[in-house]
Amino acid sequence: MARVTVEDCIDKVTNRFELVMLAAQRARKIGSGAALTIERDNDKNPVVSLREIAEETVEVETLKEELIRSHQRMIAYEEEDESIDLMDGEEEWGTLAGNRADGMYADDEIDDDDEEPSLEDMAGGAPIEDE
């Protein structure tokens, strides 16, 4: 049997670069154990993949999708519901935060004085006087 060339496949995939990329993708799939759609006839995987493309026994659009997925670094997943999972304890924290009356801590008394605390107050009280 005569060898297949790129010219035999160019009417199926018009861009030569794209054809070579798709054939290489299919050859890798064959090498990893994918089922053949034609007889091998003692040909190597790249030749078999070109013959499959030329005889239209593989779907070119499927090969394109596989090629794109193989080169993606991040896979986008489509989720039906756009809900965000809560972390452990986040739901309880939201419940507790909703029950508070005033501010962050309901038990603490907050001075509404406009003056700033003195250094003595911040240190814990009046200094001890020496005798």
Q: Based on the number of CB atoms within 10 Å of its own CB, is 46 exposed (0-12), middle (13-18) or buried (19 or more)? A: middle
Distance between CA atoms of 35 and 29, rounded to whole angstroms?
9
Domain limits, the chain:
6-71
The rounded mean pLDDT for the chain is: 79
Helix pair angle (16-31, 60-71), 10° resolution: 80
Q: What is the pLDDT of residue 86?
A: 67
Res. 125: pLDDT tops 60: yes
CATH code of domain 6-71: 3.90.940.10
Three-state SS letters, 39-103: CCCCCCHHHHHHHHHHCCCCCHHHHHHHHHHHHCCCCCCCCCCCCCCCCCCHHHHHHHHHHCCCC
Q: What is the pLDDT of residue 61?
A: 93
Q: How confident is the model at residue 48 (pLDDT cuts 50, 70, 90)?
A: very high
Give the tens place of pLDDT for each residue, 67-113.
998 888 876 667 666 666 767 777 777 777 766 555 555 555 555 55
- Where is pLDDT greater, at 34 or 106? 34
